[in-house]
Amino acid sequence: MNKYELALVVSSKVDDEARTAAVEKAKAIIEKAGGTVTEVEEWGKKRLAYEIQKMKEGFYYFIQFDGDVDAPAKIEANVRIMESVLRYLCVRADAE
């Protein structure tokens, strides 16, 4: 099992319930891919570096999880089609 981090930028135009649902769906996708969620960080609403779909702000979430080598590909394939997610990135966390 490797340690990974999934970064999500969720649209600022959706309400609180939809944002929470998007994060919960991402956690369910991780567990379906055989991963175990260890921590979820909510950074809140931040200004984007550049405009995405005519939006200048988004809500940032960072989900740390443990998973197999093929888990990130499975997770990204499912997160890619979530409508409320503007951007995502799944990276392997460095061993400390």
- pLDDT tens figures, 5-24: 999 999 999 999 999 999 99
pLDDT at 74: 93
pLDDT above 90: residue 94: no
Instruction: Classify residue 29 as exposed, middle or buried by CB count within 10 Å of its CB (0-12, 13-18, 19+).
Output: buried
The domains located in the chain, with CATH, are 2-89 (3.30.70.60)
Per-residue confidence at 96, pLDDT binned at 50, 70, 90?
A: low
Q: What is the pLDDT of residues 20-39, one digit of tens each?
A: 999 999 999 999 999 999 99
Instruction: Give the sheet arrangement for strand 85-92, strand by strand.
Output: 36-52, 55-67, 2-11, 85-92
Task: Dig out the tokens for 15 from the structure.
Answer: 């309400």
The verdict on pTM exceeding 0.85 is yes
How confident is the model over 62-74, as a mean pLDDT?
Answer: 93
Q: 67 falls in which pLDDT band (50, 70, 90)? A: very high
